[in-house]
Amino acid sequence: MAALLDGDQHELDPLERQVVAFFVDGVRVLGLPRSIGEIYGLLFVSQTPLSLDDLVLRLRISKGSASQGLRMLKSLGAVREAEGGAERRTYYEPAIELKRLAGGFIREQIRPHLESGKAKISLLAETARDVDDPERRKFLGDRVDRLETWMRSGGRVLPVLQKLLGQ
Amino acid sequence: MAALLDGDQHELDPLERQVVAFFVDGVRVLGLPRSIGEIYGLLFVSQTPLSLDDLVLRLRISKGSASQGLRMLKSLGAVREAEGGAERRTYYEPAIELKRLAGGFIREQIRPHLESGKAKISLLAETARDVDDPERRKFLGDRVDRLETWMRSGGRVLPVLQKLLGQ
DNA sequence: GGGTTTGTTCAATTTAGATTGAACAAACCT
DNA sequence: AGGTTTGTTCAATCTAAATTGAACAAACCC
């Protein structure tokens, strides 16, 4: 029978809620969905690894959300499957080294956009070269150069960022 | 009478559309609304400063969007009011120095979150100190320390970022 | 084989937040 | 004064993206 008064033993305690809320805010700043913050947050306060079903039960999110959220967190290098447990189901634990977290985010979220940005600028440069009016063409060439400078700066900054965060 | 065949002289030409689309994608990565990218993008390709009405007319966005978008862009230091023109209405031009753009973004979007993050971690630390079970308390203390380390790293990185982008 | 557990996929739904547009205010004119 | 231009505000609407949940698949059991 279902528990009376909704007195679920599944609910988060106040501390867990505080931590989860912290990470929900955190990932929003990074432009990631709320569920990512909830999942990572709960893993972060947990003393033991958690399974997908644990996340569904305690966070009251759907299996779909939990599955997709874990996939993204794995691709970011922010969670890993726990070793050991000869169990059937897999348990997850958080990566807590900033170096790894920042590295995954840069690799998965920033670099791809930087690359596609460079490609779009190349196309832009072509379009700008075909402009008839010489003065307009010159102006556009300057703007395109400016964009290329931005991208170069971005490319130079990322490795430094990674190095500084790896400590 | 309205123009026949929707042959508006207001529509963006293909090059302008390409540039606007570039910035729309760009600001989405930064978590800013589409209209911000449209406005900055059109200013960026324009050889002359543009007024709020110019933006409304050419981008076909509402006056509300244009007004709020310009306000945010001003707060980010990404646009400024053009000098000269003794006109009544104000004209805007884009800031194109990466140093200024990155500085504004860091000041307006990143630092506030970093500060509020530190505050939330302090509260978290208090909550964690009150936990009864000693083992649990120790674990949570470690996690809180980890968060504090992250924030310190973040704080150290920002000035370096600004310095590197200012070139 | 059938039954159970664990996890994935994706069309339909929900929701957060961006956009609209009408009312309002401010600054100018004659 | 009243009229016009320029820009702001904010409740209502719209839309893009996150979430759901049911169907499906895969891996194990007996």
DSSP code of A93? E
Mean pLDDT of chain B: 93
- Is A79 in a helix, a strand, or coil? strand
Lowest mean pLDDT among A25-34, A85-94, B21-30: A85-94
pLDDT exceeding 90 applies to what percent of chain B? 88
User: Which pLDDT does position A136 carry in this prediction?
Assistant: 98
pLDDT mean over B77-81: 97
User: Is the predicted pLDDT of residue B1 greater than 90, yes or no?
Assistant: no
User: Which pLDDT does position A8 carry in this prediction?
Assistant: 61
User: Is the predicted pLDDT of residue B83 greater than 90, yes or no?
Assistant: no
* A29 contacts: CB under 8 Å, gap ≥ 6: B31, B109, B110, B113
Into which CATH architecture does domain A4-95 fall? Orthogonal Bundle (1.10)
Cα separations in angstroms, A158 against A10, A111, A164, B68, B108 = 41, 9, 10, 32, 21
Cα–Cα distance, B92 to B52 (Å, whole number): 8
Into which CATH architecture does domain B4-96 fall? Orthogonal Bundle (1.10)
pLDDT digits (tens, 9 = 90+) for A62-81: 999 999 999 999 999 999 99
Q: Tell me, rounded to whole angstroms, the distance of Cα B145 from its chain centroid.
A: 31
User: Is the predicted pLDDT of residue B8 greater than 80, yes or no?
Assistant: no
Nucleotides of D under 7 A from a protein CB: 5-11, 17-23, 28
pLDDT mean over A5-34: 89
User: Which pLDDT does position B4 carry in this prediction?
Assistant: 47
Lowest mean pLDDT among A47-61, B2-16, B123-137: B2-16
The total of other beta-carbon atoms located within 10 Å of residue A111's CB is 14
pLDDT band at B7 (very low <50, low <70, confident <90, very high): low
Q: How far is B157 from chain A (nearest CA, A)?
A: 7
Tokens of B44: 């960026």
pLDDT digits (tens, 9 = 90+) for B87-121: 889 999 999 999 999 999 999 999 999 999 999 99
Indicate the pTM of the whole model. 0.92
pLDDT band at A55 (very low <50, low <70, confident <90, very high): very high
| Residue boundaries of the structural domains of chain B | 4-96, 99-165
Contact A127 B156 (CB under 8 A): no
Cβ contacts from A onto B, under 8 A:
93
Distance between the alpha carbon (CA) of B145 and the C1' atom of C6, Å: 35
